Each structure stands twice: as C-alpha cells, then as structure tokens.
A = this chain, B = another copy of it.
Amino acid sequence: MASFLVNGQPARSVDAADRGLMYGDGVFRTMVVRGGRPLNWARHYRLLARDCACLELPCPGESLLLEEIARVAPEASVAKVTLTRGASGRGYAWPVDFEPTRIVAAWPGVPDFPDEAGRGVRVRRCDVALAIQPRLAGVKSLNRLESVLARAEWRDPAVREGLLADSGGRLVEGTTSNVFLATGGTLVTPALDRCGVAGSQRERVLELARAEGIACEVRDAGFEEFERCDEAFLTNSVIGLWPVAAFGERRWEPGPLARRLQRLIEEDDARGA
C-alpha cells in the first residue's frame, strides 16, 4: 500500500477543488529511495524547480522535501513528489494568494528488472503523436493524457514500451521513458524543446557520458535513424537503463554503450549522488 503526506500530514485524499485535479495545474517527479534518501536527487530537484518555474509555482525547499520523503519512504521505495496550485474556485485564473498542495507519496519496494536490463526489451511505435507545445516542452506536468492514451494502445506484456513521435513524425520519447540511440560511438537523444518530458535519468546519462568523453548530441532524430542505429536504450528513474532488443523486425544485442552507462549509473547511485 502506498503512503501519502499531503502538505506534511498523513492523508489519503486531496480537496475536490484542487487545481491539480480540475486542470492538471501542477507537476510531479518520481524517484527511487534507498535508506530514506532519493537516488539522483540533485537532478530530480533541479528539474522539479525548473518545472515549477514554468508554471509559476513556488518550489518547496530541498530540505523540506527530503525530510518528507524520508518520513514517508524510510525503506527502499518508489517515491513521487507532486506539487499543484492548490484548491480554488471555478475559473482558470489562479488566485493571487493561492496555497499550493504538496503531495509526497511512497510505494514500498523497488522493482527489479534483471531480464529487461540484461537482455533488453521489445518496443513498439504508438499511433498517438505528441502535440507540439513549446511552453510545456520537457515539463513533467499533470497533463498526461497523451501518455495515458499511448499506453492504452497495447496490452501485450512482451512489449515493454511504446515510442512516441511528435506531430511532425520525429522520435521524442517512450510513454514513461526517454530514448537514446548510438551510432559510431556517438550518443543521440531527442531534443525536448517542442514536447516530451525531460527525465532526471536522461539528464544523468548525458552528464555521465560527457564526463567519460562520449560524444553526445541532443537534437531531432527520426524513426529511420532509430532503426539504423548500432544500439538504442531507454531510461527512467525506476527502470534505470533498458537496452532496446527489438522493434518490429529489427533486432539488437545489448551494446557496449548501454553496458557502460548501466555501470556508471550503478556507481553513481552507490556514491549516493
């Protein structure tokens, strides 16, 4: 069972007039917690603060969030921080003196994916195309209907992720993950300046790779390039890094960059970064 703190108090519910519910007026981030401490915290917090700034929401202080995460997730858990603009009357205009809602939730246990991380996963392409909205690009907002519709396109458990294009046909991300390709030793991940969610694990992989001297490009990429690449992988904070093993008829063996970055992520986690 999940545990929740709402504005610091144990609770199972939020105000029915919360703007998070009425309009998706808020943001969230999901993280793995071990020993009461979120992994990859610095990047989670940086992106949460950036997302808050995009919506003109105040971001709570780091120490308050860390204290509440440790309180609700004392053991190994998956934790989620949700920040909304709080309850208001009807109408899109937010009150000058709005009182944000802060939800810190934890699900006990950290899922383990030895097969997916080891042998890699099958992915498909989703029919839903992501709408282009630069004002919200990269932001992990509570407006996630496109992801919900995309994830509803398949129930085959052998397909572990769906890849999304934007309305211009460019490869953007998975429904719950970011995507990387590598060709000739250069790592490419789609630019997220039109749509998509910038995951904390994506930021970390880019930083770790650059620190190792691996060439990284953040730019537009198409499905043709994806199908031709030497290796591809998916990242998010809970799955870590999954090599892509199959897409339609195309097959890949997990490649050297995926293996190297999996090791670097593990080391980074062990350092408590």
Point out residues on A near B: beta carbons under 8 Å. Answer: 2, 4, 6, 11-25, 28, 30, 55-56, 78, 80, 82, 84, 89-94, 103, 105, 107, 128-129, 131-133, 135-136, 141-152, 167, 175-176, 195
Shortest A172–chain B CB gap in Å is: 13
Would you call B148 and A92 a contact (CB within 8 A)?
yes
Would you call B90 and A132 a contact (CB within 8 A)?
no
Q: Which of B89, B148, B151 contacts A2 (CB 8 A)?
A: B89
Would you call B94 and A152 a contact (CB within 8 A)?
yes
Cα(A125)–Cα(B195), bound, Å: 23
Would you call B92 and A16 a contact (CB within 8 A)?
no
A14 (CB) vs chain B CBs: closest residue = B16
A26 (CB) vs chain B CBs: closest residue = B21
Shortest A178–chain B CB gap in Å is: 15
Q: Which of B15, B142, B144, B147 contacts A12 (CB 8 A)?
A: B15
Given contact pairs A22-B144, A131-B132, A133-B146, A15 touches B16 in the complex (Cβ within 8 A)? no
- Is chain A's interface secondary structure helix, strand, loop, or mixed overall? mixed
Q: Which of B89, B93, B175 contacts A152 (CB 8 A)?
A: B93
Report the copy number of this chain in the oligomer.
Answer: 2
| Most chain B C-beta atoms within 10 Å of own C-beta, residue among A18, A21, A152, A195 | A21
Cα(A94)–Cα(B147), bound, Å: 11
Would you call A142 and B2 a contact (CB within 8 A)?
no
Given contact pairs A21-B21, A142-B23, A16 touches B4 in the complex (Cβ within 8 A)? yes
Cα(A109)–Cα(B143), bound, Å: 31
Q: Which of B16, B107, B143, B167 contacts A103 (CB 8 A)?
A: B16
Given contact pairs A92-B151, A94-B152, A131-B132, A21 touches B18 in the complex (Cβ within 8 A)? yes
Q: Which of B30, B135, B145 contacts A143 (CB 8 A)?
A: B145
Would you call B24 and A142 a contact (CB within 8 A)?
yes
Would you call A14 and B21 a contact (CB within 8 A)?
yes
Shortest A92–chain B CB gap in Å is: 4
Would you call A144 and B23 a contact (CB within 8 A)?
yes
A92 (CB) vs chain B CBs: closest residue = B151
Q: Using Cβ atoms and an 8 Å threshold, which residues of chain B touch A89?
A: 2, 107
Q: Using Cβ atoms and an 8 Å threshold, which residues of chain B touch A103?
A: 16
Q: Using Cβ atoms and an 8 Å threshold, which residues of chain B touch A167?
A: 132-133
Q: Using Cβ atoms and an 8 Å threshold, which residues of chain B touch A131?
A: 131-133, 195
The 4 closest A-B pairs by CB, nearest first: A131-B131, A24-B24, A131-B133, A13-B13
Cα(A73)–Cα(B144), bound, Å: 31
Would you list 19 pairs from A and B whose C-beta atoms are within 8 A, ordered by A residue? A6-B16, A12-B16, A14-B14, A14-B16, A16-B103, A18-B21, A21-B21, A22-B28, A24-B24, A24-B142, A24-B145, A25-B144, A91-B151, A92-B147, A92-B151, A94-B152, A131-B131, A135-B149, A143-B145
